[in-house]
């Protein structure tokens, strides 16, 4: 889910996160050792009773939930993601004035928390919530000076494509009032889009704008939204018209409304599209076309005012560590060497004669590795990916004790955004069960979706990856709401990458090419450490970074190009995956070594997932506590 569509959250009510790769969410990095120190600091010489601890913890949790509800009440978009329809026909206020207002609310909330509750009388979970609320506040303070450094319009999270994506994928229509709310949102697009344009003007005035290549994608996305009926006479509905028509006609199938009522609603939506959406997008296209004239081919954020500080802040928040750009770059180089060695072993297994680079070229081009770029080929890919996830779902009890209640489906990325969207991403389920978790596969160009990566990709985005972690977090009991929906990218994406490795230990990847696909996915994340820091810290060009991926990974050229363009507009985000995975694997191996026969992989996974997404140092503390408790148990 895109955080730019949501009003800035309170410190005590985190942004709703998706992982995808989407994703998109960062968290403040604590200084080394601060988790332990902060949690120990709440100790008091006066030992409270168990009843006092339970009462104070319950009171704090209730307060957290109240603050979370207040924050959500100010964000109609967040409400929709949560399945709440209180302000169903409205958009968020994304103005700069409201951003400042939200920060002041955060400051007030933190002061109220510290004045109203006794941290010495909290149980472990409540202490953790207290500590994470403080971290979230510090994150908001650290981020605020850089709020205009995030590109408003880009190919990954830009408002031009997120508006229709939100309406199509999140705005459900189960009644006539829901349909009217959809129409209300269509009529609200001019004001909402104008706020985003104003933010882009502010950034432009500060010398902040995306590189020139970004505008080609953004303008194509925007034009795609207003292509088709009722904007032209092509005979094919535009994306929003098609979505609204399909959802309303479904109401007639369920006898929720009469056909003539449906016709009236469709006519009203058509009018809103013509009179509100069309002019708004045409104005945005005109202005963005003008802005594009001043864009440069400099790609890294080093070009921005205070760019080095902005990037360092991003790395701290995204990795939840104190690793510098140089340290991350060097870790990436070391991981590349290791994985290349494992890939050479695969080459031997399949009897390939030649260099590793030649093997990469073979896997990029041989037809055996690709479905046809036809509707039938795409349907076949989706069916096989679904079957892989279904098979894993049946095998989960061997490695997990806790399972999500929410369902999960596999879908292709919609045509209106598939050209610019990422390779794959996950969208979380609605807490009330009205919308399943969704693994989106981008099938725009089947040459970019080799079948040998199908399993690893499905495991990462679906089960046991993002769906397990995010759905379980949403379904946690005994923790405040902001903990259920918060996101720390290193944890969320680290778990996703770990979930590609875990199936190998379960007997998957028996085909050497599937195992190569797993390694291809891992080296892709290791390469990110190199190219992300290369672009934003070492002044690499877009072309230089693309060539590095082409030379050192098996991914096709289109994949490499799209990835580098993503890293350019989301500085630092891609470094979280490998750093998070390495920490999870490190902690698992530590637990195995210390517990021996007492080690149970199912218990380890429960420990990792039981608190929702947390900074990596907090995760390490939780695992260490579990190890000590398990050692002490009879």
The residue among 61, 102, 36, 21 whose CA lies nearest residue 476 is 61
What phi and psi, each to the nearest 5 degrees, are found at residue 425?
A: -160, 170
pLDDT attached to residue 45: 54
Q: How are beta strands 437-441 and 424-427 bridged, if at all?
A: antiparallel
What phi and psi, each to the nearest 5 degrees, are found at residue 70?
A: -65, -40
Please state, in angstroms and rounded to a whole number, the distance separating the CA atoms of residues 574 and 579: 10
Query: Running along the chain, 634 residues long, what does each successive block of 10 average in pLDDT?
Result: 36 34 33 44 68 95 95 96 94 97 96 95 93 92 96 94 95 97 98 98 97 96 96 93 97 92 98 98 98 96 98 96 97 98 97 95 94 96 97 97 95 86 87 90 93 96 96 91 88 97 96 97 97 98 96 89 95 96 98 97 97 94 95 77
pLDDT attached to residue 632: 84
pTM score: 0.85
Please state, in angstroms and rounded to a whole number, the distance separating the CA atoms of residues 424 and 448: 11
Please state, in angstroms and rounded to a whole number, the distance separating the CA atoms of residues 117 and 55: 11
Please state, in angstroms and rounded to a whole number, the distance separating the CA atoms of residues 1 and 15: 10
- HEC readout, 439-468: EEECCCCHHHCCHHHHHHHHHHHCCCCHHH
CA dihedral 110, 127, 404, 626 (to 10 degrees): 150
User: What would the two tokens of residue 504 be?
Assistant: 């190998």
The dihedral built from the CA positions of residue 123, 124, 127 and 128, taken in this order, carries a sign that is: negative
Please state, in angstroms and rounded to a whole number, the distance separating the CA atoms of residues 315 and 140: 15
Please state, in angstroms and rounded to a whole number, the distance separating the CA atoms of residues 56 and 349: 60
């Amino acid at each position: 889910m895109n955080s730019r569509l949501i009003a800035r959250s309170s410190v005590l009510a985190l942004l709703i996160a998706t992982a995808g790769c989407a994703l998109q969410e960062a968290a403040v990095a604590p200084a080394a050792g601060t988790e332990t120190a902060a949690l120990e600091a709440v100790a008091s010489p006066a030992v409270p009773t168990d009843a006092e601890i339970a009462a104070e913890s319950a009171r704090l949790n209730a307060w957290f939930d109240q603050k979370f509800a207040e924050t959500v009440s100010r964000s109609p978009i967040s409400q929709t993601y949560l399945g709440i329809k209180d302000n169903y026909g409205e958009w968020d206020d994304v103005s700069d004035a409201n951003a400042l207002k939200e920060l002041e609310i955060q400051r007030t909330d933190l002061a109220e928390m510290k004045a109203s509750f006794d941290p010495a009388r909290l149980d472990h979970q409540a202490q953790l919530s207290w500590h994470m609320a403080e971290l979230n506040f510090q994150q908001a303070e650290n981020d605020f000076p850089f709020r205009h450094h995030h590109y408003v319009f880009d190919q990954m999270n830009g408002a031009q494509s997120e508006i229709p994506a939100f309406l199509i994928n999140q705005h459900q229509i189960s009644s006539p009032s829901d349909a009217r709310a959809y129409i209300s949102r269509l009529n609200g697009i001019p004001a909402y889009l104008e706020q985003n344009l104003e933010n882009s003007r502010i950034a432009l005035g500060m010398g902040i704008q995306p590189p020139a290549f970004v505008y080609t994608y953004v303008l194509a996305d925007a034009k795609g939204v207003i292509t088709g009926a009722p904007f032209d006479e092509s005979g094919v509905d535009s994306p929003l018209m098609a979505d609204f028509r399909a959802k309303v006609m479904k109401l007639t199938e369920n006898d929720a409304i009469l056909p003539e009522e449906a016709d009236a609603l469709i006519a009203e939506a058509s009018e809103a599209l013509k009179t509100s959406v069309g002019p708004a997008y045409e104005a945005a296209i005109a202005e963005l076309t003008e802005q594009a004239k001043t864009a440069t081919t400099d790609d890294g954020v080093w070009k921005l005012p205070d760019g080095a500080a902005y990037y360092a802040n991003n790395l701290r928040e995204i990795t939840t560590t104190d690793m510098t750009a140089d340290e991350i770059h060097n870790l990436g180089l070391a991981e590349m060497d290791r994985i290349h060695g494992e890939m050479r072993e695969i080459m031997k297994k399949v009897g390939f004669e030649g260099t590793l680079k030649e093997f990469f070229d073979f896997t990029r081009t041989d037809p055996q590795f690709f479905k046809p770029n036809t509707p039938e080929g795409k349907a076949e890919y989706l069916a096989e990916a679904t079957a892989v996830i279904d098979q894993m779902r049946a095998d989960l009890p061997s490695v997990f004790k806790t399972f999500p209640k929410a369902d999960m489906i596999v879908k292709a990325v919609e045509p209106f955004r598939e050209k610019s969207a990422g390779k794959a991403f996950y969208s979380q389920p609605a807490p009330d069960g009205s919308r399943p978790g969704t693994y989106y596969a981008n099938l725009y160009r089947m040459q970019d979706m080799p079948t040998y990566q199908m399993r690893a990709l499905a495991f990462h985005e679906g089960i046991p990856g993002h769906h397990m972690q995010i759905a379980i977090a949403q379904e946690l009991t005994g923790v405040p709401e902001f903990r259920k929906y918060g996101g720390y990218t290193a944890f969320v994406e680290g778990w996703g990458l770990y979930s590609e490795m875990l199936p190998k230990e379960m007997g998957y990847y028996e085909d050497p090419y599937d195992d190569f696909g797993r390694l291809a996915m891992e080296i892709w994340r290791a390469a990110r450490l190199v190219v992300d820091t290369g672009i934003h810290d070492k002044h690499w060009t877009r072309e230089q970074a693309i060539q590095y991926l082409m030379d050192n990974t098996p991914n096709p050229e289109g994949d490499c190009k799209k990835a580098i363009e993503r890293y350019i507009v989301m500085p630092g985000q891609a470094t979280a995956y490998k750093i998070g995975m390495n920490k999870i694997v490190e902690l698992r191996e530590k637990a195995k070594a210390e517990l021996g026969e007492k080690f149970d992989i199912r218990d380890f996974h429960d420990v990792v997932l039981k608190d929702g997404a947390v900074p990596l140092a907090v995760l390490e503390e939780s695992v260490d506590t579990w190890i000590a408790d398990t050692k002490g148990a009879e």
